[in-house]
Every structure is written in structure tokens, then in C-alpha cells.
Amino acid sequence: QSALTQPASVSGSPGQSITISCIGTSSDVGGYNYVSWYQHHPGKAPKLMIYEVINRPSGVSNRFSGSKSGNTASLTISGLQAEDEADYYCSSYTSSSTWVFGGGTRLTVL
């Protein structure tokens, strides 16, 4: 199972919006609504930001939103804040009853 494809890095200024893509196949992202997104600060535990493509866990800012079209899922962060600077990973369930992560995207807030 190959890793999902994410851009290595994205950047934006405070207040702007950015979108991170996550490209899979019909055997994972395209085949199931079990796409999730995680924020990871180095040295800390990853934090769930979006689950089942579009849903936000309690306590996660509504500046974070998720979507999916075909085999590509996306995470959008609006009103960028300095605290959003982190690594972001997508994940999906697969047709092999396994799970797969994306390669990760480093978000820099300029």
C-alpha cells in the first residue's frame, strides 16, 4: 500500500487561507468516507482535526474544514494563525482492511 500523496510544504500569511491536498486511489480515499486529518507538532502526540472527510471533533476550531472529490481529499485552514504552524497528515482506510497515511505537509505561517 503506497502512502497517500501530499505536498511537502505549504505556506501562508496570517489571516489567509490555505488548502492541503491528499491524493489516493479508488481503493482508499475514493472508496471510503474514512479520511481523517491530523496536526502534529514535533515532540507531541498527533491531534485529530477532521474525521470522516468533513467532521470536526469537539474543540477543534471551525477554521479547519475538510472535503473530498473523487480520489482527492483536502484540508482547508482559513484565517491562518501562528499556532497553526505544524505538520499535517491525511489518513484513509483501505480496501485491504489496512490504514494508510499521507507523506505529510509542513505548514509555515509567514
Residues near another protein (CB under 8 A):
1, 3, 34, 36, 38, 40, 44-48, 50-52, 55, 57, 87, 89, 91, 93, 97-104
Nearer to another protein, 99 or 110 (CB): 99
Residues near 102 by Cβ (< 8 Å), separated by ≥ 6?
3, 4, 5, 6, 22, 89, 90, 91
Tell me how far, at minimum, the Cβ of 11 lies from another protein, in Å. 18
Nearer to another protein, 16 or 108 (CB): 108
Tell me how far, at minimum, the Cβ of 2 lies from another protein, in Å. 11
Q: Identity (one letter) of the amino acid at 4?
A: L
Give the torsion through C-alpha atoms of 8, 6, 47, 67, to 10 deg: 140
Tell me how far, at minimum, the Cβ of 103 lies from another protein, in Å. 5
* 66: DSSP letter: E
